[in-house]
Amino acid sequence: MMIDLILLSVLLIMVIWTVMAIRLVRSAVGLALTSVVLSILMFRLNASLAAVFELSVCAGLISVIFITTISFTRRMSKSDFKTRRRQRLSKFWPLPLIIIAAAILLFWRHFPSEVIFIRVPAENVRDVLWNTRHIDLFGQVLVLLAGAFGVVALFKENKK
């Protein structure tokens, strides 16, 4: 429980850093670190397959996508950066305060200490994926294909 609390606190700090970072690249790195901490939490909740997916796809692939997108955009000039930093600080300073206030409020009026859950017979994730939720796999393939076609359509060069 204590380790979970520490990990969740690190996760929250990473998220706040991601949101408040002035440089977009730092935000992308913060997001990757958030994914890493989330995967550790998933490992602790015995969801190892989902944790591996989170680590490889979200911490790896999505960070690459973000950093590539950011690298295609224009870098801010130094004067722009200074003005933007002041604007961002004025816009984002309430966030840590709101989060601290919400945390105090939620822990103060905390959820019931004992919650009864209806436990269902456990199934292996592979059995669920291949037997119960096999239609999801077709859906995933279709979504991936749609994404690939979307990217092709977006980056198609005009032939003149």
Partner 1 sequence: MNVSLFGLFSVFVILLFIAGTYSILVTFNLIRALIGIEILIKAVTLLIILAGYLTGNLGLAQAIAITLIVIEVVFMVVAGGIVLSIFRHHGTIDTRNLRDLKG
When binding is defined by CB under 8 A, the residue of 78, 79, 118, 138 that contacts partner 1 is 118
11 binds partner 1 (CB under 8 A): yes
Q: CA Rg, the chain, in Å?
A: 21
Q: Mask of contacts with partner 1, 43-82, x by CB under 8 A?
A: --xxx-xx--xx--xx--xx--xx-xxx-xxx--------
Lookup: tokens for 158? 């005009």
Size of the site for partner 1 (CB under 8 A): 78
Choosing from 3, 6, 89, 103, the residue that interacts with partner 1 (CB under 8 A) is 103
CA distance 16 to 103: 14
Nearest to partner 1 of 72, 78 (CB atom): 72
Asked whether position 97 contacts partner 1 by CB under 8 A, the answer is no
